[in-house]
Amino acid sequence: MTATPIVIDCDPGIDDAIALLTAFVSTELDIRAITPVCGNQPLERTVRNALTVCELAGRCDIPVHPGCFRPLFREPIHGQFHGRGGLGNAELPEPTKRAERRSAVDFLIEALEAAATGSRLTICCLGPMTNLAVALRMKPAIAAGIERVVMMGGAYREPGNRSLTSEFNVLADPHAAGIVFSSGVPIVALGLDVTHRVMLQPAHVARFGDMSGPIAKTIFDLMAFWDRNDVRRYGSRGGPLHDPLVIAYLLAPQLFRCERARVFVEHESELCMGQTVADWFGKTGGEANVEIATEVDAAVLELILGRLARYDAHVRA
Ligand code: BDR
Ligand code: CA
């Protein structure tokens, strides 16, 4: 089986870091690059965090291309649950690996131009979608090189997490999200409707406390910090595993049920800024442009934890 070529566009972030670690040990995936963006943390920090996670896992072979410093029009907002530096209390190695000189936008344009006549790339969006939106604006023809976008983004029937109506990644750059949604590329959206159903609970986290090796220890530290302790909202202790679901979808799409709809992003009203409004029944007369995940099988959590358990007793390369 040939591995699926992917680019991971992200803003690490605890759950981004867990998603990267899940992808690194999944041989079904061929990670061509990581393209950090301003999101959970300012760009300088998301780049550094991506580099340090690569270093920790011995994946310095993957190029890291720094992305956009700011959202398209709005002031930056940053994540609230990732700790001061974005990776909780985890102690990660000082990266010796350096970021590439070529920006994420230049990389995406060149890689997608090449892919348009070869094997198309899957773009995994785990943060605000500024990088991809700018690349699409500069060279719309690169859409032909995209196999599909699989994003963690939006809240379709579920209320928002960063505001009453809006999910963080879309709210952080609603204009970029609007460009991606209306680009005509195939899109799978994993929003809060499914990520709030996959709770990483203290018992799951404890498993990594019993493992040995520096990577398992870091996974334990990242996960332990992620507990929201908000039973009223989530129905249990723990934290929703947002970004790793994108990797899980690539590995086992049969664990998700998707419904097609046309998606609009609100960027006029301050109250509803970043809301993803889905036309489920063709009311607007437009074609559906997104596969929205509306149900997820609980087995997805064991899939992710099983991949991460491959780091047990793992010694850094
Ligand atoms: C998204 O927001 C970020 O804080 C997480 O990393 C995830 O990508 C969830 O709304
Ligand atoms: Ca993220």
Q: Which of 111, 299, 93 minimizes the C-alpha distance to 198?
A: 299
Confidence tier at 317 by pLDDT (50, 70, 90)? low
Query: In the prediction, which pLDDT does 315 show?
Result: 60
Tokens of 68: 């956009």
Per residue in 304-316, pLDDT tens? 999 999 998 876 5
Active site residue 314: no
Atom number, ligand 1, closest to the C-alpha of residue 81: 4
Ligand nearest to the CA of 9: 2
Statement: residue 132 has pLDDT above 60: yes
Question: What are the domain boundaries of the chain?
Answer: 4-316
Query: In the prediction, which pLDDT does 1 show?
Result: 79
Centre of ligand 1 from the C-alpha of residue 285, in Å:
31
Statement: residue 190 has pLDDT above 90: yes
Tokens of 24: 């690194």
Statement: residue 133 has pLDDT above 80: yes
Tokens of 99: 């970021």
Local structure of 270: helix, strand or coil:
coil
Q: What is the dihedral of CA 4, 6, 11, 15, to 10 degrees?
A: 0
Query: In the prediction, which pLDDT does 70 show?
Result: 98
Centre of ligand 2 from the C-alpha of residue 40, in Å:
7
**Mean pLDDT computed over every residue of the chain:** 96
Provide the 10 A C-beta neighbour count for residue 224.
Answer: 18
Which of 8, 40, 190, 276, when mutated, tests ligand 1's pocket best, judged by the most ligand atoms within 8 Å of its CB? 40
CATH architecture of 4-316: Alpha-Beta Complex (3.90)
Provide the 10 A C-beta neighbour count for residue 288.
Answer: 15
* Residue of higher predicted confidence among 249 and 229: 249
Query: In the prediction, which pLDDT does 236 show?
Result: 86
The answer to whether residues 181 and 265 touch, using CB atoms and an 8 Å cutoff, is yes
Atom number, ligand 1, closest to the C-alpha of residue 13: 6
The overall longest dimension of the chain from CA atoms, in Å, is 56
Q: Residue 240 and residue 60: Cα distance in Å, rounded?
A: 28
Predicted structure pTM score = 0.97
What residues are in contact with ligand 1 under a 6 Å CB criterion? Answer: 13, 15-16, 40, 79, 126-127, 152, 161, 167-169, 242-243
Which of 16, 80, 125, 152, when mutated, tests ligand 1's pocket best, judged by the most ligand atoms within 8 Å of its CB? 152
Average pLDDT over residues 257-286: 97
